[in-house]
């Protein structure tokens, strides 16, 4: 895949981002209850991340949204901790280093917002994602942090920024 860019989400990206996330859930057979799939704002990502200390990025190629990820304060958690949220990529974008670049962009924004740590929740079978998280400096936790509502995500990780 060539000619891709990472940019901030725009309002007109909402439908494409929701469709992207839902398609990855279907592809990977991720539970739809207790995960990001059930978040009430999944169709309003621009609005959800147009808040203080929040940002959401998309990967675009030839006018198509093929990946996305964002940073926001950890829900009901320590104010010094953010969460890397909704990092999903279509199969065609995986293994090309785009995830690493997206991760770097998100973590740089988290630091710029003044966060000290970054938290993430994921699924046990998402091995490639966990490999990226570990490579990026995330470490496994024994219990969840905050109250994200994603009780079907049993893998928790944290990185000191």
Picking from 99, 74, 72, the residue whose alpha carbon sits closest to that of residue 88 is 99
> pLDDT tens across 14-70, in order?
999 999 999 998 898 887 877 777 778 889 999 999 999 999 999 999 999 999 999
Q: Which residues contact 79 (CB under 8 A, 6 or more apart)?
A: 73
CA atoms within 13 A on the CB side of 18: 16
> pLDDT tens across 125-149, in order?
889 899 999 999 999 999 999 877 7
Q: State the angle between helix axes of 98-112 and 127-135 in degrees (0 to 180), rounded to the nearest 10.
A: 50
The residue extents of the domains of the chain are: 4-160
Q: What is the largest CA-CA distance in the chain?
A: 42
Residue 133: φ, ψ to 5°: -65, -45
CATH architecture, domain defined by 4-160: 3-Layer(aba) Sandwich (3.40)
């Amino acid at each position: 895949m060539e000619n891709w860019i990472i940019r901030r989400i725009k309002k007109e990206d909402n439908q494409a981002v929701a469709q992207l996330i839902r398609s990855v859930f279907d592809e990977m057979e991720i539970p739809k209850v207790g995960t990001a799939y059930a978040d009430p704002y999944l169709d309003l990502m621009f609005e959800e991340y147009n808040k203080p200390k929040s940002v959401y990025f998309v990967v675009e190629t030839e006018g198509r949204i093929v990946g996305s990820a964002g940073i926001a304060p950890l829900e009901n958690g320590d104010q010094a901790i953010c969460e890397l949220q909704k990092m999903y990529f279509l199969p065609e974008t995986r293994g090309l280093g785009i995830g690493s670049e997206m991760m770097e962009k998100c973590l740089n924004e988290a630091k710029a917002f003044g966060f000290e740590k970054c938290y993430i929740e994921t699924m046990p079978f998402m091995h490639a994602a966990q490999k990226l998280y570990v490579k990026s400096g995330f470490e496994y936790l024994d219990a969840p942090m905050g109250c994200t509502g994603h009780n079907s995500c049993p893998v928790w990780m944290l990185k000191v920024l």
